[in-house]
Amino acid sequence: MMIASFKSLHFLLGLFLSLNFLALAQEQNHFIYHGFTGANLHLSENAKIHPNGLLELTNTSKRQIGRAFFPFPFQFNTSLFNNSRSLSFSTQFAFAMVPEQPILGGHGMAFTISPTMDFTGALAAQYFGILNSTSNGLSSNHLLAVELDAVPSQDLKDINDSHVGIDVNSLISIESAPVTYFSDEEKENKSLTLISGHEMHVWIDYDEVEKLLNVTVAPVTRTKPTLPLLSTTIDLSSVMLDSMYVGFSSSTGAVASSHYILGWSFNRGGQAQSLDVSKLPSLPPQRKSRKKPYLRILVPAITAIILLVAISGAAYIIRRKKYEELREDWEQEYGPQRFSYKDLYKATTGFTDRKLLGSGGFGKVYRGVLPSSNMQVAIKKVSHDSKQGTKQFVAEIASMGRLRHRNLVQLLGYCRRKGELLLVYDYMPNGSLDKLLFHNDTPSLNWVQRYKVLRGVASALLYLHEEWEQVVLHRDVKASNILLDDDFNGRLGDFGLAKFYDRGANPQTTCVVGTVGYIAPEVTRTGRATTSSDVFAFGTFMLEMACGRKPLEPEQSAEKMILVDWVLDSLKIGDILRTGDPRLEGNYVVEEMELVLKLGLLCSFSTPQARPSMRQIAQYLDGNATLPEMPLDGASIGLMPASLEEPGDFTLSFHRSNDYSAHSFSSTDSILSCGR
Ligand SMILES: *[C@@H]1O[C@H](CO)[C@@H](O)[C@H](O)[C@H]1NC(C)=O
Ligand SMILES: *[C@@H]1O[C@H](CO)[C@@H](O)[C@H](O)[C@H]1NC(C)=O
Ligand SMILES: *[C@@H]1O[C@H](CO)[C@@H](O)[C@H](O)[C@H]1NC(C)=O
Ligand SMILES: *[C@@H]1O[C@H](CO)[C@@H](O)[C@H](O)[C@H]1NC(C)=O
Ligand SMILES: *[C@@H]1O[C@H](CO)[C@@H](O)[C@H](O)[C@H]1NC(C)=O
Ligand SMILES: *[C@@H]1O[C@H](CO)[C@@H](O)[C@H](O)[C@H]1NC(C)=O
Ligand SMILES: *[C@@H]1O[C@H](CO)[C@@H](O)[C@H](O)[C@H]1NC(C)=O
């Protein structure tokens, strides 16, 4: 009796609770937030709400997770009451991914529908804080996610470094696409970069009758495009349980960005209400303008007054001097490529150190925005003796300006002052390759990116050697002269040492130029650069990319110190893969890795004739030809000439570590040494 009444009490209580719950859920079939001030979201791990209502899922710390879920579940697949059962839903949210550095960010975030808000054991990086390697793919997950992923992970078959994917129970997307939106005005698809730091909208709509899941993305300034980015047929009836939570999960990995949600609208069963962009909270000020506002006004004001009082009289003279240039009659034909010093001065705010991108053996490089066109440029300042060979130099600059290839950094023009030459190039937002390859603890370039860079640079060198009107020798191919554009395409830059000569002519030069470790042995003997010596340098570069280290590392043990020797020794013992960059953690295509290492060795033959041409190299890398068997004759490979009969004026000997360390230059600085 007691037991029975207790049971029925329990039953009644249960019924009451579930009715209550249902009522609550029904009341809350939809919600809309413009900012999250006072919102009772369920936040976990790193997620927090800023005072202005901005929801921050992660900051730029590495390998973090941040989640925010609507605190109550929605009744999706419940069979309890027919009228409330619906798998259809619609949501719109505004987000931004702001990387720490202009171009490196990630990992990404996922709009998630899950039976639980407890994600214990889930991992950061490519798992977005919702799954891990064991739970990935289990149908018992009952998980639907739409991922916004800024880093391609090979093991999850990601397609692109800025993509949207639809994930069901697994982070291997059932469908994905690079982030683009359809512009209704221009009737074309426009590409978006997730980690641009710009605010964007996402709409996700599922219709139970059509069984269609649509995902649409657009910049926050646009209205919803009429064509979705993804439109996928799926039946969610086996995925959605009765009660499901909706929210966001976000993660960072080896690279990180701050991931924000600015507003969110959701409706289970109907169309989500549209967000009002004007009501969204603003993002935190980005690094550029971090100065306190009063300083921004006060400092220039005081400076202006002081300047005005102190130098108003002398201003005119100083002004003239400041922007003074050298300009001669013969330069008129190069007029279009001539920049005024005043423009370059303004572009770099007077060549301040704040705009310094780097400095090397040949000068300093500044970042700037040209006042006339608002175009971002890199400006290289080289000291130059104006009396000596200027005419030829400028003629060569003009030739370089006419080179056009998508894997070359475009030279836009020049400017000449007393003792100084300024070269203006396209600005490459992702900086130079050596910084990503050698200066980080973690690999920031994966194998797919590395291989793409190698193919790109090979095609650029092929263009210089064989496809342009003259033969162009770059003479300084190395990782630090390869820059990365917004899409991580490798672009060969720094033509400071390039030489032009007519096809069929014999290049004559008595200067040894290049960089220690990349200079072909015959060049050190004869001082004559050829296309084969560029091939040699490219071979060294291929080994660097595969092994993730510099050609010479005196701090390494004797067997590993000279990279090419170590790779050759490893090939001989049949374990060439041991030289692969350990930071890749084995995530590479074995055939490609072997090809790059062997081709690198082939280019390192000390006899120039034995090296392949750039055309052959491009064919091997594109998979259009098979690499010949490697002769394993050690004497014929390497940085050292087989014999040094003609030591010439300039000898390099760095096969013994103490000799090497005696050199005053480092292996990353370009050298220019002329015999007398
Ligand atoms: C990110 O947030 C975590 C936790 O709130 C904090 O410990 C860390 O210092 C933050 N990192 C940055 C770069 O602000
Ligand atoms: C639910 O729908 C089924 C068939 O569609 C019907 O047989 C059943 O009576 C309905 N139940 C309720 C509670 O409306
Ligand atoms: C993976 O996640 C599940 C829960 O989703 C957890 O039980 C399991 O321990 C995790 N596995 C690992 C290896 O962390
Ligand atoms: C734009 O992208 C959509 C979806 O990816 C595709 O179906 C469509 O053909 C594209 N339209 C144009 C004009 O490229
Ligand atoms: C999804 O997109 C297709 C194609 O534009 C459209 O016909 C369909 O109505 C859309 N469905 C939803 C649920 O928005
Ligand atoms: C969802 O509901 C349908 C109809 O009631 C049922 O056939 C299906 O098994 C349910 N799905 C899940 C995952 O429970
Ligand atoms: C990503 O895909 C888009 C469109 O197909 C393409 O323009 C872009 O270059 C791709 N990015 C990378 C890194 O492959």
Summarize the confidence of residues 10-34 as an average pLDDT: 58
Looking at residue 26, its pLDDT comes to 46
Determine if ligand 7 sits within 6 Å of the CB of residue 189: no
SS3 category, 649: coil
Greatest mean pLDDT range, 10-19, 315-324, 357-366: 357-366
- Tell me what percent of the residues of the chain surpass a pLDDT of 70: 78
Is the domain 433-672 a CATH 1.10.510.10 member?
Answer: yes
Give the residue, by CA position, lying nearest to ligand 4 atom 3. Answer: 229
Residues forming beta bridges with residue 616, ordered by sequence position: none
* Residue 82 clears pLDDT 90, i.e. is over it: no
Amino acid at 61: S
**Residues 6+ positions from 284 with CB-CB distance below 8 Å:** 50, 54, 258
Q: How far apart are CA 61 and CA 202, in angstroms?
A: 25
Name the band, by pLDDT with cuts 50, 70 and 90, for residue 671: low
Name the band, by pLDDT with cuts 50, 70 and 90, for residue 607: confident
- Best mutation site among 104, 149, 160, 182 for ligand 7, i.e. most ligand atoms within 8 A of its Cβ? 160
Determine if ligand 6 sits within 6 Å of the CB of residue 587: no
330 vs 391, 403, 421, 497, 638, CA distance in Å? Answer: 8, 22, 16, 23, 46
> DSSP letters along 243-282, please?
EEEEEEEEE--SS-EEEEEEEEEEEESSPPPPP-GGGSPP
Q: How far apart are CA 613 and CA 623, in angstroms?
A: 15
* Residue 19 clears pLDDT 50, i.e. is over it: no
Looking at residue 669, its pLDDT comes to 53
Looking at residue 537, its pLDDT comes to 93
Distance 256 CA to ligand 1 centre (A): 12
Looking at residue 13, its pLDDT comes to 47
SS3 category, 50: coil
* Residue 360 clears pLDDT 70, i.e. is over it: no
* Residue 313 clears pLDDT 60, i.e. is over it: yes
Looking at residue 578, its pLDDT comes to 93
> DSSP letters along 90-151, please?
EEEEEEEEEESSSS----EEEEEEES-S--TT--SGGGTTT--TTTTT-GGG--EEEEEESS
Determine if ligand 4 sits within 6 Å of the CB of residue 182: yes
Q: Which residue has the higher pLDDT, 667 or 72?
A: 72
Name the band, by pLDDT with cuts 50, 70 and 90, for residue 5: very low
By the 8 A CB rule, do 280 and 35 touch?
yes
Residues forming beta bridges with residue 201, ordered by sequence position: 94, 218
Written as six digits, the tokens of 99 are 């990387």
Determine if ligand 1 sits within 6 Å of the CB of residue 44: no
Vertex 478 angle, CA 649 and 193, to 5°: 160
Looking at residue 236, its pLDDT comes to 94
For strands 257-268 and 420-426, give the pairing. Answer: unpaired
Name the band, by pLDDT with cuts 50, 70 and 90, for residue 362: low
Q: How many CB atoms lie within 10 A of CB 562?
A: 24
Give the residue, by CA position, lying nearest to ligand 4 atom 10. Answer: 189
Task: Check if 318-426 and 433-672 are the same fold.
Answer: no
Distance 159 CA to ligand 7 centre (A): 9
Q: How far apart are CA 511 and CA 673, in angstroms?
A: 6
Looking at residue 24, its pLDDT comes to 44
Determine if ligand 3 sits within 6 Å of the CB of residue 134: yes
Residues forming beta bridges with residue 178, ordered by sequence position: 163
Residue 381 assigned as binding residue = yes
Distance 123 CA to ligand 1 centre (A): 18
Q: How far apart are CA 33 and CA 609, in angstroms?
A: 69
Scanning the structure block, which residue is given the tokens 């002329």? 674
* Residue 401 clears pLDDT 50, i.e. is over it: yes
* Residue 231 clears pLDDT 80, i.e. is over it: yes
Backbone angles phi, psi at 374, to 5 degrees: 60, 20
Determine if ligand 5 sits within 6 Å of the CB of residue 231: yes
For domain 318-426, which architecture applies? 2-Layer Sandwich (3.30)
Q: How far apart are CA 460 and CA 446, in angstroms?
A: 21
- The dihedral built from the CA positions of residue 169, 172, 177 and 178, taken in this order, carries a sign that is positive
Summarize the confidence of residues 127-153 as an average pLDDT: 94
Question: Which residue numbers are catalytic?
Answer: 476
- Best mutation site among 164, 176, 182 for ligand 4, i.e. most ligand atoms within 8 A of its Cβ? 182
Burial class for 185, CB neighbours closer than 10 Å (0-12, 13-18, 19+): exposed
- Helix 614-621 crosses helix 447-462 at what angle (to 10 degrees)? 150
**Residues 6+ positions from 404 with CB-CB distance below 8 Å:** 410
Give the residue, by CA position, lying nearest to ligand 6 atom 7. Answer: 237
Greatest mean pLDDT range, 141-150, 342-351, 357-366, 604-613: 141-150
SS3 category, 473: strand
Question: Which atom of ligand 5 is found nearest the CA of 207?
Answer: 13
- Best mutation site among 175, 189, 216 for ligand 4, i.e. most ligand atoms within 8 A of its Cβ? 189
**Residues 6+ positions from 154 with CB-CB distance below 8 Å:** 446, 447, 448, 587
* Residue 94 clears pLDDT 70, i.e. is over it: yes
Determine if ligand 6 sits within 6 Å of the CB of residue 238: yes
Which ligand minimizes its atom distance to the CA of 182? 4
* Residue 543 clears pLDDT 90, i.e. is over it: yes
Looking at residue 372, its pLDDT comes to 80
CATH fold of the domain at 28-273 = Jelly Rolls (2.60.120)
Q: How far apart are CA 351 and CA 328, in angstroms?
A: 24
Looking at residue 201, its pLDDT comes to 95
Task: List, for residues 36-74, the tens digit of each pLDDT value.
Answer: 998 889 999 999 999 999 999 999 998 999 999 999 998
Per domain, the residue ranges of the chain are: 28-273, 318-426, 433-672
Mean pLDDT of the chain, nearest integer:
81
Vertex 283 angle, CA 281 and 284, to 5°: 125
Summarize the confidence of residues 192-196 as an average pLDDT: 91
Q: How far apart are CA 353 and CA 364, in angstroms?
A: 10
Q: How far apart are CA 434 and CA 445, in angstroms?
A: 11
Looking at residue 222, its pLDDT comes to 92
Distance 269 CA to ligand 4 centre (A): 28
Determine if ligand 6 sits within 6 Å of the CB of residue 77: yes
Written as six digits, the tokens of 209 are 């009758």
Q: Within 13 Å of residue 1, how many CA atoms lie on the same side as its CB? A: 0
Q: Which residue has the higher pLDDT, 400 or 541?
A: 541
Q: Which residue has the higher pLDDT, 324 or 106?
A: 106
Backbone angles phi, psi at 213, to 5 degrees: -110, 120
Residues making up the chain, counted from first to last? 676
Distance 82 CA to ligand 2 centre (A): 6
Distance 472 CA to ligand 1 centre (A): 50
280 vs 12, 16, 56, 276, CA distance in Å? Answer: 44, 39, 14, 7
Amino acid at 202: V
